[in-house]
Amino acid sequence: MTGIFLALLLLSVSSWYGRAHGYSHGQLLPRVDSGNCTRFIVSGSIPGYFQNHAFYDFRQLGDYASASPPAKITSKQDSGDENVTSTYFNTTAFQGWNILSGVRSDESTVPMIYSAQNIFISDANSSDDGAATYLSLRTSRLSAFQSMAEIKSTSDNYLHASLRIRAKFLASSDADVASGAVFGFFTYKTDNQESDIEILTAEDADTVHFTNQPASDEDEAAHAIVSLPDGKHWTDWVTYRLDWFNGTSAWYIDDEPKVQSTDSVPTEPSSVVLNLWSNGQSFSGKMAVGKEVLVAVEWIEMVYNVSDSQVNTASPVTCKVDGVSVTGQAEVVVESKSKSNAIRRSEQTTTSFLGVILAALFLAGSFDLV
Ligand SMILES: *[C@@H]1O[C@H](CO)[C@@H](O)[C@H](O)[C@H]1NC(C)=O
Ligand SMILES: *[C@@H]1O[C@H](CO)[C@@H](O)[C@H](O)[C@H]1NC(C)=O
Ligand SMILES: *[C@@H]1O[C@H](CO)[C@@H](O)[C@H](O)[C@H]1NC(C)=O
Ligand SMILES: *[C@@H]1O[C@H](CO)[C@@H](O)[C@H](O)[C@H]1NC(C)=O
Ligand SMILES: *[C@@H]1O[C@H](CO)[C@@H](O)[C@H](O)[C@H]1NC(C)=O
Ligand SMILES: *[C@@H]1O[C@H](CO)[C@@H](O)[C@H](O)[C@H]1NC(C)=O
């Protein structure tokens, strides 16, 4: 009987302990509009905040889309001065990006020419991932040159960022993606200050390269070739993510951490670049004359610092961009309180749990005594 009494006493003590500390009320903190965010955190183990957030959404641009792509580049269009294909690229929604045009380099095996005609808004198939439209990039091989696509940030002042892009190669099957193209999403200052996500169509359809270009001959480059998860191919929609922190880089695929490295992490303010290219050299390989490759992009999301960023003096509103209910909409986290609430909740669970176990032990003991 003593055992049962003690058990009941313990149970009530543990539940009193929980209530007395206000645990059982599960206080909900008020939700603040993400427009009030002053700093942003990302998922993963690297600590740190970013001060800015941008979301470029290409999924609902019906006013700017066309059912068929712009005319193919012809052999005469070797100076790359074609006009942009849609007024979208002149809107404020696209502010922050430049579309490159003109001769990139005629030193490469196959001369590289940028053309704005290779960047356009396409109607999506309604059954496909729920998007009405997407941004298309195109590269094509003419006999005398490679016509390519590149979008570059107008700012070259990004210093640390978490960049994400949801994209896929367009083809009815992997076999229909011509070999020799490279799709890149990366930060760039110089060839030695560069952090990359790259997909090479010469390779297997489930591989992606993550690289920090070496800062010097002595420095080791971070370089990993990773397989897409869940049997995906790059002809499927995949979210690729590059985190550039001070001294550490990390890469993710569809929210799964894949690679983390401290080798050759860029240290200088940089641009952000999105491109689709080939130069006929060993890395990309050579695209056959007459072939073309297309990449579709649903959205780009970036949280970032700029080199001259100041710490906010006002009390910060911290927001998260991962695990949010609507992609692209940051959500407020009330950090210190929610963290201590989480700790309290786990303490409470532990306390009650301990109470139950002890009670059970006492009960068992009391039956033994009987
Ligand atoms: C954003 O902050 C302002 C100023 O503190 C506040 O008035 C407003 O209610 C906040 N927005 C939301 C949705 O909480
Ligand atoms: C670009 O558009 C302007 C105005 O419509 C036109 O005059 C010009 O020829 C176009 N340039 C090219 C290279 O098509
Ligand atoms: C976009 O703006 C440029 C520069 O102002 C202009 O030359 C071009 O005609 C515009 N194009 C479209 C499609 O609006
Ligand atoms: C949509 O369908 C067309 C025709 O079947 C195809 O060419 C295109 O690649 C598809 N787009 C996407 C995003 O899958
Ligand atoms: C990066 O870390 C180094 C070493 O801790 C520090 O000196 C530097 O100020 C940091 N840079 C930025 C931009 O935070
Ligand atoms: C971003 O800038 C703020 C203010 O300078 C700084 O506190 C923070 O550590 C920076 N974040 C990263 C990841 O460099």
In three-state secondary structure terms, 248 is coil
CA distance 90 to 225: 37
User: Looking at the structure, do residues 49 and 130 belong to the same domain, yes or no?
Assistant: yes
Q: Report the Cα 203 to chain-centroid distance in Å.
A: 22
How far does residue 73's CA lie from ligand 1's centre (Å)?
50
Has residue 11 got a pLDDT over 60?
Answer: no
Q: Is the CB of 91 under 6 A from ligand 3?
A: no
Q: 59: pLDDT confidence band, cut at 50, 70 and 90?
A: very high
Q: What's this model's pTM, rounded to 2 decimal places?
A: 0.82
Split at pLDDT 50, 70, 90, the class of 12 is: very low
Residues 157 and 16 in one domain: no
Task: For residues 124 and 267, state if they share a domain.
Answer: yes
Q: How many whole angstroms from 33 Cα to the centroid of ligand 1?
A: 7
Q: What's the pLDDT at 221?
A: 81
Same domain, 115 and 245: yes
243 inside domain: yes
Which range, of 39-48, 294-303, 339-348, averages the lowest pLDDT?
A: 339-348
Closest CA to 151 of 260, 58, 224, 217: 58
Q: How many domains does the chain have?
A: 2
Lowest model confidence (mean pLDDT) among 98-107, 144-153, 155-164, 188-197: 98-107
Q: Which of these, 185, 189, 212, 180, lies nearest to 198 by C-alpha position?
A: 185
Write the residue with the smallest CA distance to atom 1 of ligand 4: 125
Taking only the tens place, the pLDDT of each residue in 256-277 is: 999 999 999 999 999 999 999 9
Judge whether 262 and 143 are in contact, CB under 8 Å. Answer: no
Residue 31 lies in a domain: no
User: pLDDT: is 21 or 114 the higher one?
Assistant: 114
pLDDT category at 172 given cuts 50, 70, 90 is: confident
Q: Is 284 inside a domain boundary?
A: yes
CB of 334 within 6 A of ligand 1: the answer is no
| Ligand 3 nearest-atom number relative to CA 90 | 1
Q: Whose CA is nearest to atom 10 of ligand 4?
A: 125
| For the CA of 129, the nearest atom of ligand 4 | 13
Compute the mean pLDDT over every residue in the chain, rounded to the nearest whole number: 84
Determine if ligand 2 sits within 6 Å of the CB of residue 81: yes
Beta-sheet pairing, 318-320 with 182-190: unpaired
Residues, the chain, total?
370
Q: Which residues contact 9 (CB under 8 A, 6 or more apart)?
A: none
Query: Which of these, 138, 244, 139, lies nearest to 187 by C-alpha position?
Result: 244
Residue 32 to residues 318, 334, 340: CA-CA distances in angstroms? 10, 9, 19
- Are 305 and 264 members of one domain? yes
Q: What local confidence, expressed as pLDDT, does residue 127 receive?
A: 65
Dump pLDDT digits (tens) for 27-38: 333 444 567 899
Å from CA of 32 to ligand 1 middle: 6
Structure tokens at 19: 């209530």
* pLDDT above 80: residue 106: no
Q: Which residues line ligand 4 (CB under 6 A)?
A: 124-125, 128, 170, 296
pLDDT of residue 218: 66
Within a domain: 128 = yes
| Phi, psi for 109 (deg, rounded to 5) | -55, -45
171 shares its domain with 303: yes
Q: Which two tokens stand for residue 74?
A: 């012809």
94 and 14 belong to one structural domain: no
- Residue 318 near residue 39, CB atoms below 8 Å: yes
Return all residues near 83 (Cβ < 8 A) that are at least 6 apart.
116, 117
Domain with 118, as residue range(s), is 39-334
Q: E strand or H helix at 105, and its extent?
A: strand 102-105
| Mean of pLDDT values over 136-140 | 98
Structure tokens at 215: 């800062």
Is residue 52 helix, strand or coil? Answer: strand
53 and 7: one domain?
A: no
Is residue 256 within 8 Å of 229, Cβ to Cβ? yes
Co-location of 329 and 347 in the same domain: no
Helix (H, G, I), strand (E, B) or coil at 337: helix
> Whose C-alpha lies nearest to ligand 2, atom 6?
83
* 163 alpha carbon – ligand 5 mean position (Å): 20
139 contact partners, CB below 8 Å, separation of at least 6? 118, 146, 147, 148, 149, 181, 276, 277, 278, 287, 292, 293
2 pLDDT more than 60 = no
Question: Distance, CA 345 to ligand 3 centroid (Å)?
Answer: 57
The verdict on residue 33 lying in a domain is no
* Ligand 1: centre distance to CA 322 (Å): 22
Pair 12, 80 in one domain:
no
Helix (H, G, I), strand (E, B) or coil at 47: coil
Q: Are residues 239 and 94 in the same domain?
A: yes
Domain assignment present for 32: no
Residue 140 in this model has a pLDDT that exceeds 90: yes
For residue 314, give every residue at least 6 positions away whose Cβ sits within 8 Å of its Cβ, in sequence order, or none. 38
Residue from 76, 83, 84, 147 whose mutation best tests the ligand 2 pocket (most atoms within 8 A of CB)? 83
Q: What is the pLDDT of residues 68-97, one digit of tens each?
A: 999 999 999 999 999 999 999 999 999 999
Q: Within a domain: residue 93?
A: yes
Ligand 5 center–CA 247 separation, angstroms: 8
Query: What pLDDT is recorded for position 34?
Result: 62
| Residues 204 and 103 placed together within one structural domain of the fold | yes
Which CATH number do you get for residue 91? 2.60.120.200
Domain contains 114 = yes
Residue of 334 and 260 predicted with greater confidence: 260
